[in-house]
Structure formats: C-alpha cells, structure tokens
Amino acid sequence: MQELYNMTGIVAEIQRFSVHDGPGIRTLVFLKGCPLRCKWCCNPENIRPEPQVVTRRGVQVTIGRRMSVGELMAEIRKDVIYYRRSGGGVTLSGGEVLFQPEFALAILQACKAENIHTAIETSAFAAYPTIQELLPWLDLAMCDLKHVDPAKHQRYTGRPNDLILENLRKIALAGTPLIIRVPVVPTFNDVPGEIASIAAYAASLPGVRELHLLPYHRLGESKYKELEQDYEFSGIEPLNSQDMLKLLDVARLSGLSCQVGG
C-alpha cells in the first residue's frame, strides 16, 4: 500500500466543492497532458504534460507540479465529510486522465481503499487495455462524444474518432456506469442533424441512459494569451439558451435522459 501512495504524477490543479462533475460535492483533480488538440479547448494549459511557467496578470506562475498519491489524498481527505453528506467524491479530469494512466490508477485505488466515490472525465482516446485497467476502480465514467463524423472530428481535434467510438462501446459493455457528454461547439456540432447522430450513437451503447449537452463557452480564451498561443475560436459566440433547448429536444428523441450541463 505504501508503494501506491508513493506513486507520483503531474497535477495541474485541485478544485474543491465542485457540483458539476459527477454526483454530490466533489473534488476535481486536473492532470496534465492530453493527446487531443481540440480547437476550442478551455484548458490549454493542461495539454502539455510537463509543468509550464506562464505570466498571469504580470506575475510568473507555474502550472502543474509533481505530487505523490499520498500528498493528493491528504488534500482529498479534507472534504470527506462533504462527500459523505452529499453522495460526492473525487473526479479525475485534465488534460486527459488516460495520459497518466499509472498515476490515475493509483489515485483511484487509493480513493476506493478509503471508500471515496470515484469518477473520471475522459475523451476515451487511449488503447482499451489502458482504460480496462481503471474500470474496476471506477464508480462512474463521464466520456466525451464530440462527433460521429470521422473527418470533422479529425479536423477539429487533431485525432480520428474510430478508437473513441470503439472504446465507448467497450466501456458500456463492461457494465461501468457511463454518462455521455457532448461539448456543443458552434461551427463544429451545433446543428440538429449532428446532435441527432451523436445522440443516436450514444443511445446504441448498452446500458447508457444519460446524455449531457455541455454549452461551449469562452472562459478559457485568456489562457491562450498567457501561453502566447492563438485562439482559433476567437470571435465565435456561444449558443444562446433558446438554441441549446432546441438541441436538447433533438437529443431527447433518442430516448435518453438528456440535460444541458452536467
């Protein structure tokens, strides 16, 4: 067990008291590193796997630090009382959780050893054996399904979607509780036909009951300036609430329980 707690990885941020990333009150652990290059990414500081120095409001700050599982668990334990009262727990996010699979596995195992509910947010872009190793330690998987069209997925994320689609089906067949999340991004997947196709694929996955539409936002735009990078979606406005509700109605035709946000 001590070897488990000595495992280290690069953590970008620890966010406490989240209520949007799984059931109850949760602690979010953002891991560094991601294989995708989504043009709208709201956490570009988490793409590169190593710590980075950026200038924020005139002050140099380092994003990412090496932590052990033991150090991380010391932070997580501070909110155990809130997990117990709300049915919450710990959610691993990123970047991409599967980019640091050994570290992610060790965190999940440590959480389960202390009876803490576990969840991950993932693109599911990894070799399935990597995902499969995590499943016994997971209470919930929240997986992105950005698009079913392979060419469009490649153009906007830098990666094809065949592996993702295959992995989502395998995760569902394994019996792991699975919520499909769709980032609704203008110019990418924001028309009814595209949402209908995505929802239909989600509904075809055995055991999947929920689909969450996540509205695109521009809250991460300032981060690109800190990283001295161009933001390709600059000037693209989020959908208004009325348009999101129209897409929600389309998604519900799939028979899934659907909501905006999640």
pLDDT in tens, 111-162: 999 999 999 999 999 999 999 999 999 999 999 999 999 999 999 999 999 9
Task: Give whole-number Cα distances, 211 to 163, 246, 252, in Å.
Answer: 20, 15, 9
The pLDDT of 27-42, averaged and rounded, is 97
Report the C-alpha gap between 197 and 210 in whole angstroms. 15
pLDDT at 58: 81
90 belongs to a structural domain:
yes
- Interhelix angle 69-76/101-113, rounded to 10 degrees, is 50
pLDDT at 107 over 90: yes
With respect to residue 241, please indicate whether it lies within any of the assigned structural domains.
no
Evaluate whether residue 222 is within a structural domain. yes
Residue 74 located in a structural domain? yes
Percent of the chain with pLDDT over 70: 100
pLDDT of residue 57: 83
Strands 59-63 and 52-56: antiparallel
Residue-range definition of the domain harbouring residue 109: 1-180+214-229
**pLDDT for residue 55:** 85
- Using DSSP's 3-state secondary structure scheme, residue 195 falls into helix
Q: What is the mean pLDDT of residues 212-225?
A: 91
The distance from CA 20 to its chain's CA centroid, rounded to whole angstroms, is 11
Q: Do residues 26 and 18 touch, judged by C-beta distance below 8 A? A: yes
- The pLDDT tens digits of the residues spanning 47-60 come to 999 999 988 888 89
CATH of the domain at 96: 3.20.20.70
Q: pLDDT at position 136, please? A: 98
DSSP, collapsed to helix, strand or coil, labels residue 228 as: coil
Q: Which pLDDT score, from 0 to 100, does residue 87 have?
A: 97
d(C-alpha 92, C-alpha 120), whole Å: 5
In a domain, 207, yes or no: no
Does residue 183 carry a pLDDT above 90?
yes
Q: Is position 140 within any domain?
A: yes
Q: How far apart are the first and last CA of the chain?
A: 34
Mean pLDDT of the chain: 96
Alpha-carbon span 200 to 1, nearest angstrom: 43
Evaluate the CA torsion angle 131, 154, 48, 230 in order and state its sign: negative
Q: What are the backbone angles phi and psi of residue 150, rounded to the nearest 5°?
A: -65, -40
Residue 216's pLDDT band, with cuts at 50, 70 and 90, is very high
Over residues 222-228, the mean pLDDT reads: 89
**Domains held by the chain: number:** 1
Tell me if residue 15 falls in helix, strand or coil.
strand
Give 255's pLDDT tier (boundaries 50, 70, 90): very high
Q: Is 93 within a domain?
A: yes
Per the domain annotation, does 169 fall within a domain? yes
Radius of gyration of the chain (CA): 18
